[in-house]
């Protein structure tokens, strides 16, 4: 079932008896998301998927307008993966008063790594994640390890703000050549895609060096 409003979501949620697992997405679903859905299916009696391109987590020069929106194909994937409810709200439904004045502050980890190059990004992510947790009231929430900083911050938020949900991390799904599956990979030119592979290759080389008992300098190199 697909619902677009808070009222319809609340009614659909009330109809789900037993445990509920939520998978939050921005749509453009691929097999990485399917793995999240399967993990949710295994652990929870019901699976609820959210599809919402959250304007709060896009900077002024980022790709909010051109971010891929493929709802029909997403619904087909959700149906195949056995999702019970898909919540696909509009921006006005999620932010009826416009941009929220109060946002979740991710603390120091939100300023580091990805937060350093994308100021305000994790404020936007945690704010929408908290809103979606309140609206969907899940027992379990599944997030990909691909976005490890996001996963860590969502876990921290649930713990620090007493949100009654178990946050479950799901291993990254990769292309055969090692590239992590991501909706934004479709923007990469062949040369950029080739360059992006150096990340997984470097991680694997570092892991190999660590397994071989080499020191920290060798792992970093």
Interface region with ligand PAF, contact rule CB under 6 A, candidates 1-9, 74-82, 125-133, 185-193: 125-133
Of 71 and 219, CB closest to ligand PAF: 71
Helix, strand, coil percentages in the chain from 3-state DSSP, rounded to 5 = 50, 15, 35
**Order of all β-strands in the sheet with 85-87:** 2-3, 85-87, 46-51, 20-25, 140-144, 166-170
| Closest to ligand PAF by CB, 44 or 154 | 154
**Strand-pair category, 166-170 with 46-51:** unpaired
Min separation Cβ 50 and ligand PAF, Å? 7
Q: Quick count: other Cβ atoms within 10 Å of Cβ 119? A: 11
Instruction: Tell me how many residues contact ligand PAF (CB under 6 A).
Output: 10
Residue choice 16, 20, 24, 78 for contact with ligand PAF (CB under 6 A): 24
- Between 47 and 76, how does the x/- string for binding to ligand PAF read (CB under 6 A)? -------x--x-------------------
Cα–Cα nearest to 44, from 133, 181, 152, 165: 165
Q: State the Cα–Cα distance between residues 60 and 185, nearest whole angstrom.
A: 20
Residue 182 binds ligand PAF (CB under 6 A): no
Residues interacting with ligand PAF, by CB under 6 A?
Answer: 24-26, 54, 57, 125, 128-129, 147, 150
């Amino acid at each position: 079932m697909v619902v677009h409003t808070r009222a319809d979501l609340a009614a659909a949620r009330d109809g789900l008896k037993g445990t509920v697992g939520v998978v939050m997405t921005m749509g453009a679903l691929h097999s990485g998301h399917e793995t999240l859905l399967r993990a949710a299916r295994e652990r929870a009696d019901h699976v609820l998927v959210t599809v919402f391109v959250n304007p709060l987590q896009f900077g002024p020069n980022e790709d909010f307008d051109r971010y891929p929106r493929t709802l029909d194909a997403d619904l087909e994937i959700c149906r195949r993966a056995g999702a019970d409810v898909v919540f696909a709200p509009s921006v006005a439904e999620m932010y009826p008063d416009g941009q929220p004045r109060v946002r979740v502050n991710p603390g120091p980890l939100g300023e580091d790594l990805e937060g350093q190059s994308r100021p305000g990004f994790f404020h936007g992510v945690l704010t929408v994640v908290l809103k979606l947790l309140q609206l969907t009231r899940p027992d379990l929430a599944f997030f990909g390890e691909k976005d490890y900083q996001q996963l860590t911050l969502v876990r921290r938020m649930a713990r620090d703000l007493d949100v009654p949900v178990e946050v479950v991390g799901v291993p990254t799904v990769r292309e055969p050549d090692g590239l992590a599956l991501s909706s934004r990979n479709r923007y990469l030119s062949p040369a950029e895609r080739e360059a992006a592979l150096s990340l997984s290759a470097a991680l694997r080389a570092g892991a190999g060096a660590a397994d071989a008992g080499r020191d920290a300098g060798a792992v970093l190199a």
